[in-house]
Amino acid sequence: MLKVGITGQAGFVGSHLYNILGLYPEQYERIHFERAFFESDEKLDAFVKQCDVIVHLAAMNRHPDAEFIYTTNVSLAQRLADSLQRTGSKAHVLFSSSSQEERDNLYGKSKKEGRRLLADWANENGGTFTGIIIPNVFGPFGKPNYNSFVATFCHKLTHNETPTIDVDGEVKLIYVGELVQEIIDQIAAGTTTQEYIVPSTKTVKVSEVLAKLEEFKRIYFEGGEIPKLETAFDYQLFNTYRSYIDHKSHYPVKFTQHTDARGAFVEVIRLGIGGQCSFSTTVPGITRGNHFHTRKIERFAVIKGKALIQLRKIDSDEVLDFYLDGTESAYVDMPIWYTHNIKNIGEEELYTIFWINEPFDPENADTYFLEV
């Protein structure tokens, strides 16, 4: 079992890497890291001593003072190199750099210098080092106005703001899940690679991304329909968009009910894609679920009885409670990386319709059990 530490564990890429490594407890032990460790040689050394692998992601991306970005990032790399030297570490160090290395800006220069510092430590001490050059990364939970223009667009479109395009150029993108897999592959390889250039998986114009996101807002956010998703990029972008919805204010979404002398008719879901639709009854007091997905799109629709649906982002303690009643049929969609459940809190059987975008495959279930 490899003991893996991630500087920048709480950041965008770091949190995804930390969470995905957690899906394989038989292969990886995650060594806890806090930013404050950089302020104490003792704490940083204690962290470094525990690690077989260190993925150095901690860095500053944006600040009004570009010189401050440069000095901060170089200082972080130097402090890690110094700790590796002091402790005589033999860890495999992976350094997250950027495709901006060759651009004439201080952020790019700071990443190039940081990569050099850690490569020098490895060369001088017989260490293992991988310098990873990363293109533009997007995905769920990125910080708007900081990590990616995709994050900024998604946040604005889900919070009644209007995105604007400064320069409509082509950008090379990689989804954060794909990047994490690249990092894990390099960990598994365990060899020195001074400069590993991660290939982008999508080249697209900024305006094309915005057009897709605006369609998601119109069709899904406002209309409740699952849009037509034809490519892996479409799914990645849609799950990214969904992560910026304020779940507490958006759910539960009430269905439109049509009634006449015969009774009532409710459309549960309208699809641009296929999937699997199922139906369950649940006796009073019983809870179903307590699992999360990393890619699947899922809807719970209560049509009879009283239910409590709970969501919790897996690296958070905040539990979101949604109370649904079949007398006012409603639905809640499950965000990725949120463990979720549904409990019958009424005195009669609970009737629920479940839809998920892919039929269950036990060989690739994307279902991880975790109590809410």
pLDDT one-digit tens code per residue, 10-58? 999 999 999 999 999 999 999 999 999 999 999 999 999 999 999 999 9
Q: How confident is the model at residue 256 (pLDDT cuts 50, 70, 90)?
A: confident
Q: Where are the domains of the chain?
A: 2-139+175-201, 249-369
Q: How many CB atoms lie within 10 A of CB 126?
A: 8
CATH number of 2-139+175-201: 3.40.50.720
Mean pLDDT of 346-365: 92
The CATH number fitting domain 249-369, selected from 2.30.110.10, 1.10.3720.10, 2.60.120.10, 3.20.20.150 = 2.60.120.10
Q: Output phi, psi for 22, to 5 deg.
A: -65, -15
Whether the domain at 2-139+175-201 and the domain at 249-369 fall into the same CATH topology: no
Distance CA 275, CA 297 (A): 9
Peptide bond into 252 cis (omega under 30): yes
Do residues 116 and 76 make contact, with C-beta atoms less than 8 angstroms apart? no
Mean pLDDT of 335-341: 98
Q: How confident is the model at residue 359 (pLDDT cuts 50, 70, 90)?
A: confident
Q: How confident is the model at residue 3 (pLDDT cuts 50, 70, 90)?
A: very high
pLDDT 10s digits, 117-136: 999 999 999 899 999 999 99
Helix, strand or coil, per DSSP, at residue 239: helix
Amino acid at 99: S
Which of left, alpha, beta for 91 (phi over 0: left; psi -120 to 50: alpha)? beta
Do residues 81 and 118 make contact, with C-beta atoms less than 8 angstroms apart? yes
Identify the pLDDT of residue 202: 97
Question: CA distances (Å), 222 to each of 228, 247, 250, 306, 336, in order?
Answer: 15, 14, 10, 25, 20
Do residues 198 and 135 make contact, with C-beta atoms less than 8 angstroms apart? yes
Do residues 189 and 248 make contact, with C-beta atoms less than 8 angstroms apart? no
Strand partners, 129: 93
Distance CA 44, CA 34 (A): 9
Q: How confident is the model at residue 310 (pLDDT cuts 50, 70, 90)?
A: very high
Its pTM stands at: 0.92
